[in-house]
Amino acid sequence: MRSSLITAIAVLSISSTSGQTHTSKSSQPSALEAKLVGVKWFSGISKSGRFVIVEYTPDHRKLWAKTSTDLAPFCKWHIEGNELLYTELPQVSSDDPYPPAKHETIVELTKDTLTLKERGPNEYTYTMRRLTKADLAEIGEPSSASVPSQQSSPPSSAKRDSATIEAQSRLKTDIETALGKPNRNVPRVWDTQIDGQTIKVRFSIDDNLTAGMIKRSARTDVKEILQAIHTSGYLYSAITVTGTYPLKDAFGNSTEQDVIRATYRRSIVDKINWDGFESDNVFQLQIADSAWVHPTFY
C-alpha cells in the first residue's frame, strides 16, 4: 500500500513538472514572431492612391487600416515554422477590399521588409516595408514619434542636376524603344526616375487577345526593361519596376492600377544570359529581390 502511494505521488510530480515545462516553452515567441510583432508594415501607395497599414500584435491579432492611428483587429494569427495561419474574427473592417487569407508563407523577414506568399487558388507574393515618417508625410498624416525616420528620401525634380535629368530621359527613350508603341491610349512608359543608384520604372502593360497572353507579355516587358537598363551603360545598384493595367471594380468601372511591382539587384541582373533567359522566371525569388503580383496577373 505504501509502495503504491509513493509511485502515485511520483507520477503526479513528473506529470506536473512536464506540464510546467511545456507551458514555459510554448510561451516563448519564435525568432520570426519577435521580428514580426510591434512593427507597422506599409504596403506602399498604388497609382490609384490606395495603401494598407498592417500590424501584428503580441496577443496574436492582425490589425489593418488605411491610417496609422485607426488600426483595428482584422483576424487572429499564429506561426507554425515559417507559415502564418489566420483565423477570422466575428467582425472585420467593412471597407476591406480583400477578405483575410487563411494561410501565408513568410518568404523573407528582415528589419525593414516583410515578404509574404498568400496560399490558395490564386497564390501570389507581395512585399511590405516598415512604415516611416516619410511614408506618413506622403499619405498626408502627421509624423509620429513611434515611427522611425527614413534615412534618405528621393530628391525632388527641382534638385536633380542636369546630368541626372538627361540620363533619365535617355533611359526612358531606351525603354520605350525596347517595349515598342502602346496599343492602349496611355503612355507605354509613365516615368523613369534615378534615385541615387536605384532606377525606378513605371510602365503600362499592353492589351492582348487573351488574359494568358496579357500576363505573358507583362513578364516579357519586365525582361525587356531590365535588359534595356543593363545594356545602357548606366551605373546602378538596383532596378524597381512597376507595371499598370486597368482593373474593373464591382460596379464595372475600370481604373489604371499597379498590378506588378518588383525589385532587382544588379548582382543578380549581371548573371542573366539574355539570349537564354525565360521571361516567365522574372518574378521568381532567385531572380527578383522582391516581387508583388496582383492575383489577376499571377
Range list of H helices, 52-159:
133-138
Q: What is the pLDDT of residue 18?
A: 44
Residue 234 domain flag: yes
- Whether residue 186 sits in one domain with residue 134: no
Residue 143 domain flag: no
Angstrom distance (rounded) from CA 162 to CA 112: 32
Domain that holds residue 133: 31-138
DSSP code per residue over 25-57: HHTSPPHHHHHHBT-EEE----TTS---EEEE-
Please say whether the beta carbons of 218 and 282 come within 8 A. no
Q: What is the pLDDT of residue 236?
A: 85
Q: What is the pLDDT of residues 128-166, one digit of tens each?
A: 888 888 777 776 666 554 555 544 444 444 444 677 788
Q: Minimal CA–CA distance to 278: which of 286, 290, 200?
A: 286
Q: Minimal CA–CA distance to 180: which of 209, 223, 221?
A: 221
- Whether residue 165 sits in one domain with residue 95: no
Per-residue DSSP letter, 209: S
Angstrom distance (rounded) from CA 42 to CA 106: 16
- Whether residue 65 sits in one domain with residue 187: no
Q: What is the pLDDT of residue 83?
A: 87
Residue 178 domain flag: yes
Q: What is the pLDDT of residue 99?
A: 47
Q: Residue 167: beta bridge partners?
A: none
Range list of H helices, the chain:
2-26, 31-36, 133-138, 162-179, 211-230, 266-269
Q: What is the pLDDT of residues 240-250, one digit of tens each?
A: 999 999 998 88
Q: What is the pLDDT of residue 147?
A: 59
- Whether residue 293 sits in one domain with residue 168: yes
Angstrom distance (rounded) from CA 142 to CA 126: 27
- In this prediction the pTM is 0.48
- Whether residue 236 sits in one domain with residue 129: no
- Whether residue 164 sits in one domain with residue 276: yes
Q: Is 164 exposed, middle or buried (0-12, 13-18, 19+ CB in 10 A)?
A: middle
- Whether residue 130 sits in one domain with residue 170: no
Residue 152 domain flag: no
Residue 1 domain flag: no
- Whether residue 165 sits in one domain with residue 134: no
- HSE at residue 151, side-chain half, CA atoms within 13 A, is 2
Residue 23 domain flag: no
Last residue of a domain, one of 138, 173, 196: 138
Residue 191 domain flag: yes
CATH of residue 71's domain is 2.40.128.640
- Whether residue 132 sits in one domain with residue 244: no
- Whether residue 292 sits in one domain with residue 175: yes
Residue 18 domain flag: no
Give per-10-residue mean pLDDT for the chain (298 aa).
48 44 49 84 65 84 73 80 78 45 81 81 75 76 56 45 79 94 94 88 94 94 95 86 92 91 92 93 90 89
Last residue of a domain, one of 138, 172, 191: 138
Which strands form 254-265's sheet, in the order they lie side by side? 189-195, 198-204, 238-248, 254-265, 290-293
For the chain, how are helix, strand and coil distributed in percent, rounded to 5?
Answer: 30, 30, 40
Q: Name the domain count of the chain.
A: 2
Q: Which residues of 143-157 are buried (b: 16+ CB within 10 A; e: fewer)?
A: eeeebeebeeeeeee
Name the one residue in this structure whose C-alpha cell is 495561419: 85
Q: What is the pLDDT of residue 160?
A: 45
- Whether residue 106 sits in one domain with residue 208: no
Q: What is the pLDDT of residue 16?
A: 45
β-pair type (124-130, 238-248): unpaired
Helix pair angle (211-230, 162-179), 10° resolution: 140
- Whether residue 289 sits in one domain with residue 165: yes
Please say whether the beta carbons of 82 and 106 come within 8 A. yes
Last residue of a domain, one of 138, 169, 199: 138
